[in-house]
A and B are shown apart, each in its own frame.
Chain A
Amino acid sequence: MTNNSVASSEKTSLVESQWEERDHASSSDPVLSSSTTSTTGPQIREISLIKEPKIWAIAGGKGGVGKSLICANIAIMFARMGRKVLAVDLDLGGANLHTCLGVEAGKLSIGDWLSGRTKELSELFLHTREPNLKLVTGSADPLNVIKKMDRRESVLIQELRKLPFDDIVIDLGAGTQDSTIEFFLGADEGILSILPEPTSVENAYRFIRTIFLSRLRRADVPEGVKEIIDTSFDQKNFLGIRTPADLMAVVERLDPAALEVLQKSVAKYHPNIIVNQVRSQVDIDIGKSICSVCRRYFGLTVNYVGYLEYDNSVWKAVRSKNAVIHEFPTSILTSRFERITRTLLGEVKGLFP
């Protein structure tokens, strides 16, 4: 490259300006034209080393709510916007993100890295149909094997941040296991998929409750307050703490300064939700209502970033082992995914607040 001779600081600024140029070029480009960046490949690698990737975690509390579907299609959208993307399947035990992306599971999976069989995460990368999108598949190992090898799990987020990507999209499993919560809170943005059904709503609230308490647990407060937070994880605790308001009231009596710290921590956190399988306007409005309930109950500002219609294209795409965007590029869901992705990037306003 020509800028090898210039001083390092100038080099950085030059690289950054190239970054902006590329960014600008891709934003003026229609989303659905892929691989505008193949000609600028080497520059991107350099740029990406300077900029830490943004980590997006997708969870849902319940199984079958469309986590992998959303993860796969958002990742494709990011890639088509000219961003360099890595999709990681952390649904250990129930991995199928590769199927949603239309990729054959390779020989190596995240389980190999977690267990220490492979040294570098980059050895796990699989190519997808999108030139800008790489994939790390979930483990094919049985769950009990994975449980024994979670020693590298705690450093996974830090390791992911070192990778040369713009975005890393993580597909998390169902439930509220510690590791799932850890990844959801460790990510830059958490996205919850919810169906307009009591089962899904109930599990989503359970998930939000767990991330809410876990986030408070991480706040910089005295040990005594942390113990109270730990106690309140159990809904039938001896302190009689049932709701977030109860917890805050107890903390206020014990340590008003700690209450302020906790409130600040809550105020800074904004999880995102997507309502999947909507069939009517009422279903779409459920998302707004959930945000309203979360604000009242948890004091959390939840962003409603979009919804997805109940659509036959999903099962058809799954049957043909392909992503919805690839299989049905003109379907309503493709445009919904585009809208959601733009909302996540702050280019358009969400549905709530």
Chain B
Amino acid sequence: MTPSDPVNNGPSRLGMPNHYLTLDILPGASQNEIHHAYKRAKMTYSAGSLASYSLLEDENNENIVREIEEAYETLSNPSHRREYDLKMGFNTWTEEQSAKEVARGYARPSVASSSEDGGEEEDPFSEIKYEAASTSMAVKTVGALSPSKPADPRRSHVRVVKAETDDDDFRFVANPDFEAKIQTCTQLDGAFLRAVRIYKQISLEQLSARSKISPSKLSAIEEEDLAALYSQVVYLRGHVAIICRVLSIPNPEELSRKFADRMRDEGKIPRSTL
């Protein structure tokens, strides 16, 4: 019999090996927890460790440490982790869940930090220069949204956004040219959504707080890197419509439908099976 690795075979197959198990954490762990678990795991399986004394050889420990490094590399990077979660079925942020988040957000008071002067405080745009800000000094307020529609339970998440943006508006320096571009927009793409967001000095976090869509999803939409996140066009369409409303882009319904259809046609998300 060939000597086998006591770690990869046998008993550990009970719970399929995965990066979370490697670090002894649960799939919902925070980045902080991941970091601490990584440090502890490395200590546990370091050469001469007390906890593995008499049970594991140095060679075993080396293999385990490699696994740990690999796990940490993936999980400590949010976008890699997102991909991994989806691949492995640890869907910590599925469409359904984010819809639930939205529903919860409807019930509780706004958790969004006031965005007033948010750009100055955190300076999230320091690295990105765009013409808009410097060309005009006029301060304009966003948030004038389309007139409210009759209450419809399916649209409750949309109404949340309105309710919040109505009394808590973003401030930014307006640029007439870019403003016109937004008003006449007939075709959306991820880059344009990002440009509008940055123009209006809204960080991903702020947009996430308003829209109740996770930052990772928002950034995926802006990058049009959607295959792993959206299994159905309808979810994408809903999210893009919400983003449009928060960013005060006109015709959110039409634009989001066009955007989602284009993504599907380009094969960036799978065709709906329903």
Contact = CB atoms under 8 A, between A and B. Distances in A.
Interface string B22-42: 001000000000000000110
A290 interface: yes
Contacts of B185: none
B153 to A, nearest CB: 38
A335 interface: no
Interface string A139-180: 000000000000000000000000000000000000000000
Nearest to A246: B4
Interface in A290-320: 290-293, 295-300
A257 interface: no
Contact of B56 (A206, A266, A293, A300): A293
Interface in B1-53: 1, 3-14, 21, 24, 40-41, 43-44, 49-53
Given A201-B51, A292-B51, A296-B64, A244 B10 contact: yes
A263 interface: yes
A247 interface: yes
B190 to A, nearest CB: 40
Contact of B51 (A242, A243, A247, A293): A293
**Does more than half of chain B's interface fall in helix, strand or loop, or is it mixed?**
loop
B55 interface: yes
A246 B1 contact: yes
Nearest to B17: A296
A332 interface: no
Given A245-B6, A293-B44, A239 B56 contact: no
B148 interface: no
Contacts of A246: 1, 3-4, 6, 10
A352 interface: yes
A282 to B, nearest CB: 8
Contacts of A31: none
A340 B6 CA distance: 32
Contacts of A293: 44, 51-52, 55-56
Contacts of B14: 263, 266-267, 299
Contacts of B11: 244-245, 248, 263, 266, 297-300
Interface of B: 1, 3-14, 21, 24, 40-41, 43-44, 49-56, 64
Interface of A: 196-198, 201-202, 205-206, 239-250, 263, 266-267, 285-286, 288-293, 295-300, 352-353
Given A293-B52, A352-B24, 8 more contacts: A246-B6, A247-B10, A263-B13, A266-B11, A285-B40, A285-B43, A286-B51, A299-B11
